[in-house]
Amino acid sequence: GGGLYQLSKAGKLSVPAMNVNDSVTKQKFDNLYCCRESILDGLKRTTDVMFGGKQVVVCGYGEVGKGCCAALKALGAIVYVTEIDPICALQACMDGFRVVKLNEVIRQVDVIITCTGNKNVVTRDQLDRMKNGSIVCNMGHSNTEIDVASLRTPELTWERVRSQVDHVIWPDGKRVILLAEGRLLNLSCSTVPTFVLSITATTQALALIELYNAPEGRYKQDVYLLPKKMDEYVASLHLPTFDAHLTELSDEQAKYLGLNKNGPFKPNYYRYRALISQNGKDA
């Protein structure tokens, strides 16, 4: 997502582009709902850890962070959240999570999960202060969140325990368990449900059809969000799976709301609970 906007700003985009990643259906499923299931899947497959009573810090409370926190809370983990954005921080507070700075809890936590999309969220200095047997993993979209390069130094020993699981051993014998070498945990260590893939693929296909069929001049060499109508269409195609039946507006009701009976049903600025900021990342 972010890279396209940077290219566009620099005037280097040679064709129109559709930012599928920030379409609501795709975002909610890939980021929130998928992570809500895959975070536990990835951690259990790699470490067989039990979550009841474990202290976990989730860095970032965007869509991915929200999904991870919901799953961990349901299993009885004690969940802390770190956040730079006051709106997301407030959402975390209202969802019942303690918002802290990583340094305040680094010595006591059992698991750190990064999902910020930023870099150097967990530094060597912080890894040095973690307790023996703690687990560090990344759910964000890049492998820059945990400073893994800083762990490849002569005084630390790396021990490959099983596929995607390394023990990093300090001179005093302390071990920190690093998953997938800091790469994306849910791609490396768990599976993606076909239902989620279907939503993503449908969204991508519709975006391509929209770009291909659009009249000359509708899309310039820029980055566009998928029209809301298409987003609603993707969602409606997946409703039969759940045997869900949509209510239809009467003519009178549609007129009262100032809507077309067939959608789009929400204005473009409407946020389906989570916020998406202008630059294409979760706000």
- The secondary structure of 16-40 as a DSSP string is -EEE-TTSHHHIIIIIIIHHHHHHH
114 SS3 class: strand
- Asked if residues 111 and 87 have their Cβ atoms less than 8 Å apart, the reply is no
Instruction: Tell me the β-bridge partners of 160.
Output: 166
Q: How far is CA 18 from CA 4, 6, 68, 198, 246, in A?
A: 9, 14, 28, 18, 28
| Whole-number pLDDT of residue 189 | 62
Which residue type sits at 224? Y
- Asked if residues 113 and 182 have their Cβ atoms less than 8 Å apart, the reply is no
78 SS3 class: strand
| Whole-number pLDDT of residue 190 | 62
Mean per-residue pLDDT over the chain, rounded: 88
Instruction: Tell me the β-bridge partners of 178.
Output: 136, 166
155 SS3 class: coil
Q: What does the block give as tokens for 226? A: 């998928």
- What are the pLDDT tens digits along the chain (283 aa)? 567 677 777 777 777 888 877 777 777 777 788 888 889 989 999 999 999 999 999 999 998 999 999 999 999 999 999 999 999 999 999 999 999 999 999 999 999 999 998 999 999 999 999 999 999 999 987 789 999 999 999 999 999 999 999 999 999 999 999 999 999 887 666 666 777 788 888 888 888 888 888 888 888 888 887 788 888 998 999 899 899 999 999 999 999 999 999 988 988 777 776 544 434 444 4
